[in-house]
Amino acid sequence: MSSVPMIRQSAGPGAARAAARSSRGKAGGYNRRPGVVTYVLLGIAVLVGLGPIYYTLLLGSSDPAAISQNPLPQLLPDASLFDKFSQVMNSDAFSFWKAFWNSVIISVVTAAATVLFSTLAGFSFAKLNFRGRRPLLVFVIATMAVPTQLGVIPLYIIMAKIGWIGTLQAVIVPALVTAFGVFWMTQYLEEALPYELIEAARVDGASMFRTFWSIAMPAARPAAAMLALFTFVTQWTNFFWPSIVLNQDNPTLPVAVRLLQANYFVDYSLVMAGVFLVTLPLIILFMFAGRQLVAGIMAGAVKG
Amino acid sequence: MRKTTRKAWALAAGVASISLLASACSDGGNADEGGDASGDGNITLTVATFNDFGYTDELLAEYTEENPNVTVKQTRAARSEDARTNLTTKLAAGGSGLADVEAIEVDWLPELLTSADAFADLTSDSVEGRWEDWKVEAATSEDGRLIGYGTDIGPEGICYRADLFEAAGLPSDRESVKELLGGDDATWESYFEAGRQFKAASPDVAWYDSATSIYQGIVNQMENAYEESDGTPKPLAENSEVQEAFTQVVTESADLSAHLEQWSPDWDAAFQSNGFATMLCPAWMTGPIEERSGGVTGWDVADVFPGGGGNWGGSYLTVPATGDNVEEAQKLADWLTSPETQIKAFLNAGTFPSQVEAWENEELTASTNEFFNNAPVGEIFANRAAAISVTPFKGENYFKIHQAVADAIIRVDVEQSQNPEQGWQSAVEAFQNLGL
Amino acid sequence: MSVQSPPAPERVAQSGAPRPPRRVGFSQKLSRWDVKVSPYLYISPFFIVFAITGLFPLIYTAYVSVYDWALLGGQGEFIGFQNYTDVFGQPMFWRSLRNTFSIFLLSSVPQVLVAIVLAALLDQNLRAKTFWRMGVLLPYVVAPVAVGLIFGRMFADQSGLVNSALGVFGIDPVRWHVDVLASHVAIASMVNFRWTGYNTLIFLAAMQAVPRELYEAAIIDGAGRVRQFFSVTVPQIRATIIFVVLTSTIGGLQIFDEPRVFDPAGRGGGSQQWMTTTLYLYDVGWGTQRDLGRAAAVAWILFIIVVLIGLVNFAVTNRISTSGGGQPSRRQRRAAARSSRRSA
């Protein structure tokens, strides 16, 4: 379809971007390595982030008596952490793996759906012309301002009416596409998708959907990877709505792990081991997604 | 590179649609699992509890042995707040999705009684005389519907640090401490007086942890603290009984309190730093004390409570009227709250029985608590339970008004941003803002 | 061909529907239909989901707000705007508004500024890029239980780490749970901890779409890093800045979890020092008052406030990031770039 020379002819900011992307990695003023200051500043930011996770591990390898005596019971996690893990995973209070898979299904489906639908809507809002575009976009943004606390009762009434109480789709369907995602994709594509590319594809006779699929989707990749990540994390850690609408014997991971807490006697070491087990898949996911983000930019999705 | 991009997208889209279908199919079937009678007359009853009621799988299996057509499934929320939100949301949305038997805390009753129709009337001859009157009355609506069967209660004694008592030159064994605090006729005045004695010898250690918990102990001994028996709220500005209690507590607290808010991190830390010497101590409080006292020895519990007996907390089992098997659920709740079953639950989880008959049970009276210097906690709390005589009336406005006063106590005792007079004035203002 | 297509994206989207290709007959009809219907088709999933799961709750809330409606007692009498006037008459409501705005300013402003700087740092040719990016985002995955526990210990009034640290420098302990401003600072730091990395990555994604040529050109013009940041980066990621400012406004004004876990009671402190409006809403509906009608009124009042503030913020951000600190406007620069390229 579109070759590089053609992009150059249709000069514009988008072309500049495409060209810049394809030339990235070669020598140039901007590609010099940054100085020590950058690494120090980033190092501080990362330490601040790592601290709590490390602390979670420390508490997880301790025991309640030690924790009550000293908020920092030890400096290094130890093997007792694994006993705690197996205690959590083999707890009678809940089925860890069932909860795990429920969480996986919910998070994967909502992340994939949100990305697909948000990119579609974002493409439409950012780059297509239609009546009511502006007011509709404002409407989408305004829906984010609705306080969520009160929506629970009416939402539960709806779910009861359609018989979805206790089913995973009661959690999935409301999260299939979010105003946040639509707004994010609209703003991103407005900046990152060269208009000329769309027109080129249209002139070549590509249908709207084909244009979307082969032009907008690749251009959206870095933002899409991030949106997927955010959506995944949101659903993975979502507690309130699943705890109401799902049956206790068919829970998600946060709902299940919450059972480790109790009103009056809380074994924080066990709770923290549970918290870490819930967080671990996210950390692993981050590593993959992080690669994707970097790759997304280096690859230059627009490159023919 | 582009190929991989596309593949990734296609994969994502594929996963999305397949999982959607899968979840739609697989979960559609068992949506209304639980509670429904199936063809062969077998039914499954669900019991929703929180925290730990001591209902183990073995215990519930016993019910199936006696009633082979019934299977009991328990769903457990971690914290009572979670359970309350869950229950009230579903009730507010019309009652679908509730368990056949729902556990509740005593503090929720005033509100739940305003929609008593949502629950089955559990009045029955088989539970006649099972509990003390005050436990039953708290769960009975104006028109005489009983909406909950009592499970456990929180009879209050005084937990104290024997080592700190000794250091202050006071007697430290259970009997002497009981006498020191006023014995069988202990009053709040005698409790405060003992505190002044303690503080004189040991100025660095507070007598008790928090003013709000003391205030709560006093108010729980009033029959009509905030409302008349017909539910009419008393104007706080003219409520001299409450004002007196308020003033006494905040005045004494200036010197005797550790100025802490219960359950806060500072409160947790005070267990380690000898922050205070005594605590009002319902049966369930022994767990939290032990948990926070790693490495600290010297806790004991005395068979005494100022102003007679007092109860703090405790739970009930209710049967929502929307359930499919209300009758069977009532039978189950009856069985679960029988003295025999409750004793087993007590041995499993330490939930102190509300059933009068259970207090005589040998397994209960013989139980001791190693952490509390091997105190015979079963016997002590059974005595404390028998000493409870007042039924505090708690209507639908009780907790709103209580909160207004308790907030003021926090301002005077913990934050120390107001003096006692200002505190009382602000409580009265907060009451007026409630617009009752 | 498209050389004269309008430069600014807003105008592109409004005026520049893709020209129909020069073909005839059936496929042209189909194509016109495609052009007309597709935009609506693509945004429809959001509106369908919203219609099912968002619209009814909104209408329901409005309906409830004009009735006397207890959480459990259910619908009572129609009382018009009584609930709204009741809410306006409660000093707690006004205090909650003050707290909300104070915490919002203390969190959102530094958060957005730090995030954009961190993003600029990350948008360089770093070694171990993935590590740094993910490291910055890590706080976002820390479970709220852990955050609550850790910050609760750090900011405890008597036994807290922060106060002991201040003590080392001879500073008197701060009463984090008593003083209004101190409690807001503590809560804001909790918010900033969790959300700064998140906003950083959003900025980063946008920055990476900025054409590198613009930087090369700026370097040739002798612009330093700071100058490049203000004259190239900021104007180029304008839409994203608007996005971040708007979403953190909306999120910031609805702040709930952090003030709720700040003390064991979760009611915003003995004198409502840190009771935010959503916390107030929750307290009215689910806490002590248990009045669903009034809570619904609070929800609507809050909704309207958030929309209004959002509009103001949009206008302000729009101006600031377009004016770009005296630099040539985006349009001018683009025009320049175009002409230079055309001659090349």
Which residues in chain A have Cβ-Cβ distances shorter than 8 Å to B287?
264-265
Give the residue from C35, C51, C77 where a domain finishes.
C77
Q: Is residue C104 part of a domain?
A: yes
The reply to whether B128 and B265 lie within a common domain is no
Nearest to C121 among A41, A149, A271 (CB): A41
The reply to whether C110 and C69 lie within a common domain is no
Host domain of residue B87:
43-153+313-365
Least confident of A47-61, A93-107, A151-165: A47-61
Q: Is residue C6 part of a domain?
A: no
CB–CB contacts below 8 A, B to C: 76
The reply to whether C99 and C128 lie within a common domain is yes
Nearest to A263 among B13, B51, B73 (CB): B51
What does the pLDDT read at residue A274?
A: 86
CATH at C266: 1.10.3720.10
Q: Is residue B373 part of a domain?
A: no
The reply to whether B214 and B100 lie within a common domain is no
Q: Residue C324: is its pLDDT beyond 60? A: no
A86 or B249, which is more confident: B249
- Domain A94-267+288-297 belongs in CATH node 1.10.3720.10: yes
CB atoms within 10 A of CB B235: 11
Using the Cβ of B57 and the Cβ atoms of chain A, whether some distance falls under 8 Å is answered with yes
Would strands B43-50 and B70-77 be described as parallel, antiparallel, or unpaired? parallel
The reply to whether B148 and B196 lie within a common domain is no
Question: In angstroms, rounded to a whole number, what is the distance separating the alpha carbons of residues A118 and A175?
Answer: 11
Nearest to B293 among A68, A165, A217 (CB): A68
Q: Residue C321: is its pLDDT beyond 80? A: no
Using the Cβ of C252 and the Cβ atoms of chain B, whether some distance falls under 8 Å is answered with no
The reply to whether B123 and B233 lie within a common domain is no
Using the Cβ of A38 and the Cβ atoms of chain B, whether some distance falls under 8 Å is answered with no
The reply to whether B173 and B184 lie within a common domain is yes
How far away is chain A from the Cα of B96, in angstroms, using its nearest Cα? 7
pTM for the model stands at 0.82
Q: Is residue C11 part of a domain?
A: no
Could C86 and B434 be called an inter-chain contact, meaning their C-beta atoms sit closer than 8 Å? no
The reply to whether C310 and C162 lie within a common domain is yes
Least confident of A277-281, B38-42, B309-313, C78-82: B38-42
Give percent above pLDDT 70 in chain C. 84
* Mean pLDDT comparison of A1-15, B24-38, B203-217, highest-scoring range: B203-217
The reply to whether B259 and B229 lie within a common domain is yes
The reply to whether C192 and C131 lie within a common domain is yes
Give the residue from C30, C51, C77 where a domain finishes.
C77
Question: In angstroms, rounded to a whole number, what is the distance separating the alpha carbons of residues B85 and B101?
Answer: 16
Could B414 and C270 be called an inter-chain contact, meaning their C-beta atoms sit closer than 8 Å? yes
Which residues in chain C have Cβ-Cβ distances shorter than 8 Å to B400?
288-289
Chains touching A (3+ CB pairs < 8 Å):
B, C
A6 or A187, which is more confident: A187
Question: In angstroms, rounded to a whole number, what is the distance separating the alpha carbons of residues C3 and C7?
Answer: 10
Q: Residue B264: is its pLDDT beyond 60? A: yes
Contact predicate C49/C58, CB 8 Å: no
Report helix, strand or coil for C75: strand
pLDDT tens digits for range A164-192? 888 999 999 999 999 999 999 999 998 88
Residue of B nearest to A102 (CA): B23
Mean pLDDT of chain A: 79
Could A165 and B31 be called an inter-chain contact, meaning their C-beta atoms sit closer than 8 Å? yes
Mean pLDDT of B239-257: 96
Mean pLDDT of C52-72: 88
Mean pLDDT of B41-45: 88
The reply to whether C32 and C98 lie within a common domain is no
Residue with tokens 């850790």: C150
Nearest to A248 among B24, B76, B92 (CB): B76
Question: In angstroms, rounded to a whole number, what is the distance separating the alpha carbons of residues B234 and B20?
Answer: 56
Nearest to C213 among A9, A20, A191 (CB): A20
Q: Which of C36, C58, C60, C134 to mutate to test the interface with A (most CBs of A within 10 A)?
A: C134
Band (pLDDT 50/70/90 cuts) for residue A219 is confident
Q: Which of residues 168-227 of C touch B (CB under 8 A)?
A: 175, 177-178
Q: Which of A69, A136, A146, A203 to mutate to test the interface with C (most CBs of C within 10 A)?
A: A146
Using the Cβ of A86 and the Cβ atoms of chain B, whether some distance falls under 8 Å is answered with no
Q: Is residue C3 part of a domain?
A: no
Chains touching C (3+ CB pairs < 8 Å):
A, B
Mean pLDDT of B9-26: 45
Q: Is residue C221 part of a domain?
A: yes
The reply to whether B259 and B194 lie within a common domain is yes
Contact predicate C176/C182, CB 8 Å: yes
pLDDT tens digits for range A191-214? 888 888 888 888 888 888 898 998
The reply to whether C116 and C256 lie within a common domain is yes
Using the Cβ of C63 and the Cβ atoms of chain B, whether some distance falls under 8 Å is answered with no
CB atoms within 10 A of CB A47: 11
The reply to whether B138 and B167 lie within a common domain is no
Which residues in chain C have Cβ-Cβ distances shorter than 8 Å to A223?
205-206
Long-range contacts of A4-8 (CB under 8 A, 24+ apart): A4/A303, A4/A304, A6/A200, A7/A194, A7/A196, A7/A197, A7/A200, A8/C341
Q: Is residue C49 part of a domain?
A: yes
What does the pLDDT read at residue B191?
A: 96
Q: Is residue C318 part of a domain?
A: yes
Domain count, chain C: 2
pLDDT tens digits for range C112-138? 999 999 999 988 888 888 788 888 888
The reply to whether C144 and C30 lie within a common domain is no
Q: Residue C58: is its pLDDT beyond 70? A: yes
Which residues in chain A have Cβ-Cβ distances shorter than 8 Å to C213?
16, 19-20
Mean pLDDT of chain B: 88
pLDDT tens digits for range B59-77? 999 999 999 999 999 888 8
Band (pLDDT 50/70/90 cuts) for residue B26 is very low
What does the pLDDT read at residue B142?
A: 87
pLDDT tens digits for range B363-403? 999 999 999 999 999 999 999 999 998 889 998 889 889 99
The reply to whether B355 and B230 lie within a common domain is no
The reply to whether B323 and B426 lie within a common domain is no
Tokens in use for A234? 């949101």
Q: Is residue B400 part of a domain?
A: yes
Mean pLDDT of chain C: 81
Using the Cβ of A163 and the Cβ atoms of chain B, whether some distance falls under 8 Å is answered with yes
A27 or C20, which is more confident: C20
Q: Is residue B10 part of a domain?
A: no
The reply to whether C30 and C179 lie within a common domain is no
Domain count, chain B: 2
The reply to whether C65 and C147 lie within a common domain is no
The reply to whether B205 and B273 lie within a common domain is yes
Could C303 and A146 be called an inter-chain contact, meaning their C-beta atoms sit closer than 8 Å? yes
The reply to whether C142 and C233 lie within a common domain is yes
What does the pLDDT read at residue B357?
A: 93
How far away is chain C from the Cα of A86, in angstroms, using its nearest Cα? 20
Could B261 and C263 be called an inter-chain contact, meaning their C-beta atoms sit closer than 8 Å? yes
What does the pLDDT read at residue A30?
A: 54
What does the pLDDT read at residue B101?
A: 96
Q: Residue B167: is its pLDDT beyond 60? A: yes
Q: Residue B130: is its pLDDT beyond 90? A: yes
Mean pLDDT of C180-207: 91
Could B31 and A163 be called an inter-chain contact, meaning their C-beta atoms sit closer than 8 Å? yes
Mean pLDDT of C263-276: 87
Host domain of residue C102:
91-339
Least confident of B21-25, B208-212, B267-271: B21-25
Could C72 and B415 be called an inter-chain contact, meaning their C-beta atoms sit closer than 8 Å? no
Q: Residue C344: is its pLDDT beyond 60? A: no
Q: Residue C13: is its pLDDT beyond 50? A: no
Mean pLDDT of B239-262: 95
The reply to whether B274 and B326 lie within a common domain is no
CATH at B338: 3.40.190.10
What does each C-alpha distance from C110 to B284, C105, C199, C252, C323 come to in angstroms?
45, 8, 11, 12, 22
Which residues in chain C have Cβ-Cβ distances shorter than 8 Å to B435?
86, 89
Could C54 and A293 be called an inter-chain contact, meaning their C-beta atoms sit closer than 8 Å? no
Contact predicate A220/A203, CB 8 Å: no
Q: Is residue C85 part of a domain?
A: no
Which residues in chain B have Cβ-Cβ distances shorter than 8 Å to C87?
none
Could A165 and B97 be called an inter-chain contact, meaning their C-beta atoms sit closer than 8 Å? yes
Question: In angstroms, rounded to a whole number, what is the distance separating the alpha carbons of residues C224 and B416?
Answer: 54
Q: Residue A2: is its pLDDT beyond 50? A: no
Q: Residue C248: is its pLDDT beyond 80? A: yes
ipTM here: 0.78
Q: Is residue B24 part of a domain?
A: no
Nearest to B265 among C70, C152, C290 (CB): C152
What does the pLDDT read at residue B3?
A: 44
